[in-house]
Chains A and B, each alone.
Chain A
Amino acid sequence: MPDNEIVLEMSHISKNFPGVLALDDVSISLHKGEILGLLGENGAGKSTLIKILSGAYSLEKGKIIIDGIEHKFSGPHESLSAGIRVIYQELTSFEPLTVLENIFAGEVVTNKAGFVSWRKMAAEAKKMLANLGSDINPFTLMENLNVAGKQVVEIAKAIHGNVKILVMDEPTSALDEKDVNILYSVIRKLRDQGVAIIYISHRMEEIFQITDRVIVLRDGKKVGDSKTSDTNKSDLVNLIVGRELSEQYPKRDIKKGKVIFEVKNLSYLNKVKNVSLSLCEGEIVAFFGLLGAGTHQLFSILFGDKKATSGEIYVEGKKLKISSPNIAKKNGLGYIPIDRKEEGIAIVMDIKQNITSSNIEQIGNGFILNRKIEKEHAYKWFNVLNIKAPSIDTMASSLSGGNQQKVVVAKWLEKNSKILLMNEPTRGIDVGSKAEIYLIAEDLCEKGVGVLMVSSELPEIMAISDRVIVMRDGGIVGEFVTKETSQEELMHIASA
């Protein structure tokens, strides 16, 4: 399908963030009417690349050439006027407004008298949607559409006007199979109209179904670039993951102790259904599930952030009602949330204040805060976890993601938690820090801590967990000893 006309060339792009080289001399090209798959793990540099293309990040090193003209975007509006559109994973539609209003957000079509002409706009919107093969009524409220419908409207909105390059960031992550097919036909239609498409996805099957060419990023570098038909799934997986994580971090054989944490028939509305599990001292149990499987909700409940509608929780054999994080903490639980910046770390405070934040009551006698003790405690974990910063007085905001995450971990080491809940502990952090987080988890296990982990990265689960529990639609659909299963099996069960 692709003819030879090159629409976009990004050459020798590098981007530095404090402590991380997010992109390292990456070059990509894109042809007219081509669907390019962009692959890579979380933190491989995909979103950084896209944000540079969309003008959200400034270009520091390298060139962007569109239709032969070099561009230097100083903001998203310049990227827009160069014909680039990005549809992000989290849709940005205005829910309480109509489809029509969403498509024409920011501009209106007027009649001769200068009034808004709803009739003209509706006709045009209908035409645009029909072009995409959709019969959505333009006057439907956005919030009444399903995710696929919203996607279609987002696409209509994005391609409205002069569009040369459309970037789609994991467009199918919340879609079921039928809706995925609708989306595919829309994407193919666009391609046939000459739009160049960059398609980001984690799902291997999709890449082979929809893309013409694939580029793989790993740790900020381009490690693969070939026609989709010239490659196969296992080659791609190897390129994405690099060496098998389990080869890099051989799992230590840690002796398991007694059961310290048990959950029986836990439910929460219809999001979590009848979940039971148990965790031993020194054990790492991983939860795996696709988006909406209920793993995140489950962890929120276990730490008392949400209240279970039914079920029982036992800590070291004692039945508990965990109705707040305070109670969870007092009973030896620690929680590393998925959203580090919003829930894990207070970025306007410094490292030592963050580390001691879960343990303020122990820093000094009575109601006095003893700063000397605070410094000693913080300094200890600062060294143990090898946090890379000038000092413990450094503000959390100036740390890299990996070091921020170490601070969050340190918080619960400081509290001496016996049961650690880690929700996507390595999301958005560099490979080096990931490895360190794994080592920390294993060190903790050796000291008798039990770790529950949610992860969407299968290589990570395979590398460090003892057991894997797979969830789908809020319920447990499979439980495996990690050594006796495979990534393929887990993915199959999670998505069946």
Chain B
Amino acid sequence: MQPKTKKSFKLTDTYILLVILVVLFAFFSLANKQFIAYNNISTMLKNMVLTGVLALGLTPLMIARGLDISFGNSISFTSVVMAVLFTVGGLNLWLSLLIGVLVATLIGFINGLLIEKFDLIPIILTLGTMAILQALALVVANTFTQTYSILMLTDQLYYFATRTFLKIPYPLFILIIFVAIFWFVLTKTKVGRTIYLIGANPKVAYLCGVKVTKVKILLYTFMGFVAGIGAVLIVSLTGVGMSYHGAKLSLPTLSAVLLGGISLMGGSGSVWGTLIGVLIVTVIFNGLSVLNVPSYYIQLFQGLALIIIVAAYEIRNKRAQAF
């Protein structure tokens, strides 16, 4: 009997992903020199921040067998709320952003409360909130401006979105801070261990005295908060609050998380895995657009990639189980 320790298992996975990343990077660099130009790399990193932050928010939630697919629409709605408060309401910039983030956090809390208290299936419940939030985003935008997109341009946000420090774009620092915090919480703290325990077996965790419901509601609430930060990012990067901002975020984010080794069955995954997943997804889609692949083909490829990722993990798991 060969005992396999979890550590060596995880590392091999991460190495495989790293190799894939390097190969993809080399391929796109050879295919088009523009790909490795500073301007493109910088754009790519900036685009990565949003997917990265959201994927990190999903990481502990999904490790604990939770799931939220409504974050994209929560971002749309929240960005509209921020822009309306600031532009139409004339509120202070920071206050508008803060209220927006609080609204998003509340949405996460409601998701968690409903799912955990009524034992609902997360994908179905958040599919419902997703539709409601999309509608609310349109209603709010329409009520106050008769459009679906509201300008929210300020010097501070523009400065944040465009300046660099040591040639590193400012938004990237947000991602770096997020990575550090999430890595620390998941690997070094008691909460982190509790999250893995819940994902490994919620009933066992419950019978060990873990307050499973409370922890999971907290994780959903935190995912809401992360979506709020996502809204701040998207408003600064684009200068508008828009009802369709988040519509296309769910797919690449979920793909990145699943690619990074998180299973819908919970219990597995890591911050590094998620980060490499985000890098791979970003490189693929940026690379394809640098190669002038039309956007509808990129979308087709996105869907295909998600299916391939999930299937690949499933096949590997089946092999690992066979004896």
Contact = CB atoms under 8 A, between A and B. Distances in A.
Contact of A353 (B1, B188, B193): B193
A335 B206 CA distance: 11
A290 interface: no
A324 to B, nearest CB: 8
Contacts of B208: 325, 329, 357-358, 411
When A and B form their complex, which 5 residue pairs have the shortest distance between CB atoms, in order from nearest? A329-B209, A346-B200, A326-B209, A346-B201, A358-B208
B17 to A, nearest CB: 20
Nearest to A58: B323
Contacts of A324: 209, 211
Nearest to B201: A346
Interface string A381-416: 000000001110111001000000000000100000
A390 B7 CA distance: 15
B261 to A, nearest CB: 13
The listed residue with most A CB atoms (<10 A of its CB), out of B3, B5, B267, is B3
20 contacts: A326-B210, A330-B209, A335-B207, A342-B201, A342-B203, A343-B204, A344-B204, A348-B201, A348-B267, A353-B193, A357-B204, A360-B190, A360-B194, A367-B191, A368-B189, A368-B190, A390-B3, A395-B3, A395-B5, A398-B1
B5 A369 contact: no
A7 B288 CA distance: 66
Contacts of B204: 342-346, 357
Interface in B171-217: 188-194, 196-197, 200-201, 203-211
B319 interface: no
Contacts of B193: 353, 360, 369
B210 A349 contact: no
A361 interface: yes
B268 interface: yes
B246 to A, nearest CB: 32
Given A350-B5, A393-B7, A369 B209 contact: no
A342 B201 CA distance: 8
B4 interface: yes
The listed residue with most A CB atoms (<10 A of its CB), out of B1, B193, B207, is B207
Contact of B209 (A325, A342, A349, A394): A325
A19 B3 CA distance: 12
A324 B210 CA distance: 10
B10 to A, nearest CB: 12
B7 A361 contact: no
Contact of A348 (B1, B191, B209, B268): B268
Contacts of B200: 346-349
Contacts of B191: 367
Contacts of B7: 393
Given A344-B204, A360-B190, 13 more contacts: A325-B206, A343-B204, A344-B207, A345-B201, A346-B197, A347-B200, A349-B196, A357-B197, A358-B208, A358-B209, A369-B190, A369-B192, A395-B3
Interface string A144-168: 0000000000000000000000000
A148 B81 CA distance: 63
B6 interface: yes
Nearest to B204: A346
Interface in A333-391: 335, 337, 342-350, 353, 357-358, 360-361, 363-364, 367-369, 389-391
Nearest to A335: B207
Contact of B207 (A343, A349, A391, A393): A343
A19 B189 CA distance: 34
Contacts of B4: 395, 398
Contact of A394 (B3, B188, B192, B203): B3
B201 to A, nearest CB: 4
Interface in B39-79: none
A305 interface: yes
Contact of A18 (B1, B6, B194, B210): B1
Contact of A326 (B190, B196, B201, B211): B211
A344 to B, nearest CB: 7
Nearest to B263: A348
Nearest to A362: B190
B181 to A, nearest CB: 13
Contacts of A394: 3, 5
A389 B1 CA distance: 10
A352 to B, nearest CB: 11
Interface in A293-345: 303, 305, 324-326, 328-330, 335, 337, 342-345
A340 to B, nearest CB: 10
A60 to B, nearest CB: 12
A446 to B, nearest CB: 26
Given A325-B208, A358-B209, A343 B203 contact: yes
Contacts of A328: 209
A456 B44 CA distance: 64
Contacts of A350: 5-6
Contacts of B203: 342-343
B202 to A, nearest CB: 10
A327 to B, nearest CB: 8
Interface string B260-278: 0000000110000000000
A443 B192 CA distance: 34
Contacts of A343: 203-204, 207
